[in-house]
Amino acid sequence: LCEIYGAGGWDLRFEDMKRIGDWLGVLGVNLFDEHLSYATLRGARKRDHPQSFSYHEPWWEAYHVNARYLTRLSYALSQGEQINDVLVLEPTTTAWMYQGNEARLKELGDAFFNLLMALEVAQVEYDIGDEDIIARHGANAGARLVVGQRHYTTLVLPPGTENLDAPTLKIIEEFLRRGGTVLSCSEPPARVDGTISERGVALARSKSWRRVEASAVPAQMRAAAGPDGFAIHRQPGDKGILFHQRRQLADGQLLFLVNTSIDQSSAGTVEVSLHGVEQWDLATGKTDAVAFEKTAQGVRT
């Protein structure tokens, strides 16, 4: 759920609304709540977080075009399941140690953001892991780290990870012992529950622990393609800002591609081990056939 368009301005265009909606949708939002509808514009309200979604707007009679598009987008992205094999751990408990140290917090935040954006640029599929949720819903199953209904074979520790909570560390220890892979973008965490500990250093002795630079993680993830052969190949020199979300359906897959650049196009090819391709037009609700070629593994379009 996202309260969308807040403080977008009185001059927010339908083009902007679609671009913002697509960006939120591709990153996981599937229920949109427009911000807001004014009852009055007296006083400071005229300049406080415009625009207003109501009949006062000159474009209100045409807003159904964007609303129906978002309705279809929400419906489509609520179907099936998004199943990713990589879990990227948030450095939240490390950040807790630096409350009040704005420079260090910014360093941690920027490094984590840059890692995620590099994965997005490389079209790597991943989930973000939270230590509190892992403590309550995490477990091990063979060489997989289990969180709720999801299973992961690779765990990524982002740059600057200095601390792990004890429950998280226990699960990672077992994960490594059973053959799961940990990619660490920094030295092993030196603290457990905020206290200096050798347990993090012991993790790095596992043959499944790999110390990698954050810049090398996307390439390693792309090289480890899934069993269905899914891959997105961007054209050389592509300057678009491309994101994607893939959902597994009972009878196929749904792929949502979004280029959020306002002035650069994006192009390339998609490969997957399926038997055909069709396009769902969110503006009309219609489906159409799409040209594709057969490959040894499936199709390319």
Strand partners, 270: 232
Does residue 226 surpass a pLDDT of 80? no
Pairing of strands 138-141, 144-147: antiparallel
| Across 177-200, average pLDDT | 97
CA 128 from centre of chain: 7
Does residue 251 surpass a pLDDT of 70? yes
Strand ranges for 55-153 from DSSP E: 86-89, 127-129, 138-141, 144-147, 150-152
The overall pTM is greater than 0.85: yes
CA distance 235 to 184: 30
CA distance 246 to 76: 11
CB 49 within 8 A of CB 6: yes
| Residue 287, helix vs strand vs coil | strand
Does residue 225 surpass a pLDDT of 90? no
pLDDT score of 297: 87
Confidence of residue 47 (pLDDT cuts 50, 70, 90): confident
Angle at 125 between CA 28 and CA 156, to 5 degrees: 110
244: its two tokens: 């994607």
| Residue 12, helix vs strand vs coil | coil
CA distance 111 to 22: 25
Length of the chain in residues, anyone?
301
CA distance 32 to 35: 9
CB 204 within 8 A of CB 184: yes
| Across 73-87, average pLDDT | 96
pLDDT mean across residues, the chain:
94
Q: Which has more pLDDT, 203 or 225?
A: 203
Report pLDDT digits (tens) over 91-102.
999 999 999 999
How far apart, in Å, are the Cα atoms of 200 and each of 79, 97, 123?
40, 17, 30
Confidence of residue 49 (pLDDT cuts 50, 70, 90): confident
Task: Indicate the range of 12-21, 48-57, 113-122, 135-144 predicted with least confidence.
Answer: 48-57
Residue 81: DSSP 8-state: B
Does residue 223 surpass a pLDDT of 80? no
pLDDT score of 39: 87
CA distance 253 to 36: 35
Report pLDDT digits (tens) over 100-154.
999 999 999 999 999 999 999 999 999 999 999 999 999 999 999 999 999 999 9
CA distance 112 to 115: 5
CA distance 101 to 301: 49
Position of tokens 């913002």? 20
pLDDT score of 255: 97
Which DSSP string corresponds to 227-282? TT--EEEEPTT--S-EEEEEEEETTEEEEEEEE--SS----EEEEESSS--EEE-T
